[in-house]
Structure 1
Amino acid sequence: MSHLEKTVSNIVHPAAHISWRLATATLLVMSSMSAMAAPQMQVGVLLPGSKADGGWMESGYSGVTTAQKAFGPQLKTQLIENINYADMEQALTNLAIKNQLVIGIGGQTQAAILKVAKRFPQVKFSIVGGNQIPNMPSNVAGYDVKQAQIAFVAGAAAAMLTKTGKISYVGGMEIPSIVNAGKEFANGAHYINPKIEEMSTFTGDFDNVSKAHEATLAAISQGADIHYHILNLGLKGLEQAAKEKNTHIIGSYTDRCGTNPLYLAYTITGVGYQVQYAIEQLSKGTWQPGYKAFGLAMGPKASGMKICKSTPDMDKKITQIEQDILSGKIKVSEG
C-alpha cells in the first residue's frame, strides 16, 4: 500500500477501524467462549457387546450416560461397541489415540488393554471387571466388581423364592470369575437350605441367545423355577425360556423391580458405577492405577440385592448375609 493509500484509509474510513475493532473483540469473545466449552476430559469406552443387551453392557453404558449428564460439555466420550476378540486391540488403539482415559467394560477386555497400554504410557486405562494380576502396568487400573460376593447373596435369595427347591445358573464364558459366581450362587442357596438343587451351565458365549435359551429350558425340564445369570445379549434367550415355561429370573447388574414380571429380584453389580468412578477420578486428578476391589464394601451403588416383593424376614436374612461376607464370617471365592 502506498503512502497516499494509507493516508486515504486513515482519513476516509474511520468507521472501518471501529468495525475492525468490534470484529476483533467479537472474535476474542467467541474464542474465549469456545475455550470454555471445550471438553476438559476425553474418555474412550469399549463395549465388547451391545449397549442394549439388558445386562452388563447396558449397565456400563448407563454409567457413561450418567457421567455425561453430570459433566456436560466438560466431558467428551467416544464409544465403540460390539467388538469381537480379534478386533479388540485395534479398537482400543483407536480409542487411545484420541482420549486421555480408556475404559474397557468387561474382564474380556483385560488382555488386550494390557497390551495396548504399554504402547500408550501417557493414556490411562480402567478395566471394569478387572482381576488382580502381578506387574500391572503403571497406567492401568483394574476394578473388581466382586461378582462372587453378590452371586452368593443371589443364591440365598433364590432359595427363599423357589417353590420347587430347584434353581439354575447360566453363565457365558467358562472363565474363573464366571465359574466362581456360579459356585457361590449354589453356596448361597445351600446356606439357606442345604437341600436345594442347583444346576449350572456355561454357554461359552455371553451373547449367544439360542444357547442360553437351550440351557435354561434344560434346567427347567429338571424342575428349576428360579434362574440367575451372567450373560449379555444371551439374556434374551433365558428370558424367552422363562416366559415360555412360566418360571422366574433373578436379574443381574441393575435394580429394575416392577418393570418385568419375569423378574422376582435383582442383584446390583455396579458396572455403571465403576465407569462413573473412573471418570470422576479423572476429573479430580485422583485417578490411580492398580487393582481396586469394589463389591459390597463400596456400598449399595457398587453391590447389593433387591428382592422385589420381599418380606421383613427376607430383608433381615439378606442384610445379615451381606454383613457376614464383609466381616469374613462367610468366605466366598475371589473374582
Structure 2
Amino acid sequence: MMVSSQQASRARLRRHLVSRCLVTAGIVALAAPSFFIPAAHAADDAMRVGVLIPGSKTDKGWMESGYDGVVAAQKEFGPKLKTQVIENINYADMEQALTNLASRNQLVIGIGGQTQAAVLKIAKRFPNVKFSIVGGNKGDNMPPNVAGYDVKQAEIAFVAGAAAAMLSKNGAVSYVGGMEIPSIVNAGKEFGNGAHYVNPKVKYFESYTGDFDNVAKAREATAAAVAQGADVHYHILNLGLRGLEQAAKEKNTHIIGSYTDRCGSDPLYVAYSITGVGYQAQFAIEQLEKGQWQPGYKAFGLAMGPKASGMVICKSTPAMDAKLKQIEEDILSGKIKVSEG
C-alpha cells in the first residue's frame, strides 16, 4: 500500500509526541503539544487536577511559581492527588489543551490571565468540571463552574516600587513588562507610583516587550534603562527574565524578583515581591479536597496575608521594614489608592 508523505509525517509526529510523555511522582507532565495523546481515567478515588502552564515551568517567574504550588499540593495530599500538567502551549493550542485536561480531570487550573479567554469558552462545554484561573480578572458572563483568582499585581507592584526607590543608589529604577495588557500596564504604573511615593525625584523607566518569553527584547529594554542610570529593576516576565538578568549582571545592577521569596539564592536579586501564584494554585486544590471550592471572582493580594502577597528585602533594615509595612497598611485602609489588577 502506498503511504503519502503527509501520512508519514503525521506518523512521525505521533511517535514524537508519545516519546515526550513523562510520568513522575504522581505528576503527569505533558510536553507541548502532547495533549493529543489519549488516556483513560484510572479507577481509583484520587482527586484529579489538570494544570495548563502556557510557558515553561522552569522560567524563574510566574509559571514556575504556579507549578511550585502544584508540587506543594502534591506533597500535601500524596497519592490522594493525581495531577496532569501541560506546559509550553501557544495561544492557538490552548483550547485543545484545555479540552484534553477537562476530559480527564475534576478541576482544571489555568496558570495566568492569558488562559482566561480559552477557559471561559471551554468551561461551557464541561459544566461538571471546575475551572480556576490563577491571575484571573473580573469578567462578564463567567460560567458558573469557573473561579477567577486575582493576584492584585498592581497592589504589590506599588510596594515593590517603594522598595526599589529605597534600594537604588543612583535614584533610578526600571520596569519591564511582557504583553501590554491592562493588568501588566497597571502594575508598571503602580511600580512607578510606589517609587515616587518614597522618592519624588527618582527616575523611572517603563517598557514592554510584547512577549513574556522574549529574552532578546527583555535584555534590550533593560540595557536601555541601565544606560540611563537605572540600577534596580522589576519585571513581569516569564522566560524573558533571562534577558533582564543578563543585562543587569553585565553592569552590576540588581533585580527585585517576582512571585516567590528566594533571598540568598542569587546576589543579583536584592528583594522579592510575593504575588502568591503558587499559593493560589494550591488554594484551588485544597478547596476541592475540602469540598469548599467556589466559582466566581476572588481577590487575593495583601488582604489575604503574606503567603498571598508581600515584600521581602533580602538585606533589609528595621527602618525599611517599618516603611514597607506602613505602605501596605495604607493600601489596605484605602489611604493609598492603587489601580485594579
TM-score of the alignment, normalized to the shorter chain, above 0.5:
yes
Indicate the residue corresponding to 1:273 in structure 2. Answer: 279
**Structure 1 unaligned spans of 5+:** 1-36
Indicate the residue corresponding to 2:25 in structure 1. Answer: none
Which amino acid counterpart does residue 56 of structure 2 have in structure 1?
S
**SS in structure 2 of the partner of residue 331 of structure 1:** coil
Verify: 1:172 aligned to 2:178, yes or no. yes
| Distance in 2 separating the partners of 1:303 and 1:165 | 26
TM-score normalized with structure 1 length: 0.89
Indicate the residue corresponding to 2:209 in structure 1. Answer: 203
Residue among 296, 308, 318 paired with 1:312: 318
Residue among 126, 129, 135 paired with 1:123: 129
Which amino acid counterpart does residue 146 of structure 1 have in structure 2?
K
Which amino acid counterpart does residue 238 of structure 2 have in structure 1?
N
Residue among 59, 63, 78 paired with 2:65: 59
Which amino acid counterpart does residue 71 of structure 1 have in structure 2?
F
**SS in structure 2 of the partner of residue 333 of structure 1:** coil
Residue among 250, 258, 268 paired with 1:252: 258
**SS in structure 1 of the partner of residue 124 of structure 2:** helix
Indicate the residue corresponding to 2:225 in structure 1. Answer: 219
Q: Displacement of 1:290 after TM fit?
A: 0.2
**SS in structure 2 of the partner of residue 274 of structure 1:** helix
Consecutive aligned runs of 4 or more in structure 1 exceeding 6 Å deviation: none
Q: Displacement of 1:133 after TM fit?
A: 1.3
Which amino acid counterpart does residue 160 of structure 2 have in structure 1?
A
| Distance in 2 separating the partners of 1:243 and 1:158 | 17
**SS in structure 2 of the partner of residue 301 of structure 1:** coil
Which amino acid counterpart does residue 154 of structure 1 have in structure 2?
A
Verify: 1:187 aligned to 2:199, yes or no. no
Indicate the residue corresponding to 2:111 in structure 1. Answer: 105
**Structure 2 unaligned spans of 5+:** 1-42
Residue among 46, 55, 61 paired with 1:49: 55
Verify: 1:77 aligned to 2:83, yes or no. yes
| Distance in 1 separating the partners of 2:289 and 2:254 | 41
Indicate the residue corresponding to 2:247 in structure 1. Answer: 241
What is the count of residue pairs matched by the alignment?
299
Q: Displacement of 1:38 after TM fit?
A: 2.9
Verify: 1:294 aligned to 2:300, yes or no. yes
Which amino acid counterpart does residue 141 of structure 2 have in structure 1?
N
**SS in structure 1 of the partner of residue 272 of structure 2:** strand
**SS in structure 2 of the partner of residue 42 of structure 1:** strand
Q: Displacement of 1:117 after TM fit?
A: 0.4
Which amino acid counterpart does residue 113 of structure 2 have in structure 1?
G
Which amino acid counterpart does residue 198 of structure 1 have in structure 2?
Y
Indicate the residue corresponding to 2:154 in structure 1. Answer: 148
| Distance in 2 separating the partners of 1:40 and 1:83 | 26
Percent identity between the two aligned chains: 81
Is the CA contact 1:38–1:73 (under 8 Å) kept in the aligned structure 2? no
| Distance in 1 separating the partners of 2:204 and 2:81 | 45
Q: Name the one with the larger helix percent.
A: 1
Is the CA contact 1:39–1:76 (under 8 Å) kept in the aligned structure 2? no
Q: Displacement of 1:129 after TM fit?
A: 0.1
Q: Displacement of 1:136 after TM fit?
A: 1.0
**SS in structure 1 of the partner of residue 121 of structure 2:** helix
Indicate the residue corresponding to 2:7 in structure 1. Answer: none
| Distance in 2 separating the partners of 1:191 and 1:119 | 47
TM-score normalized with structure 2 length: 0.87
Q: Highest Rg: 1 or 2?
A: 1
| Distance in 2 separating the partners of 1:145 and 1:227 | 20
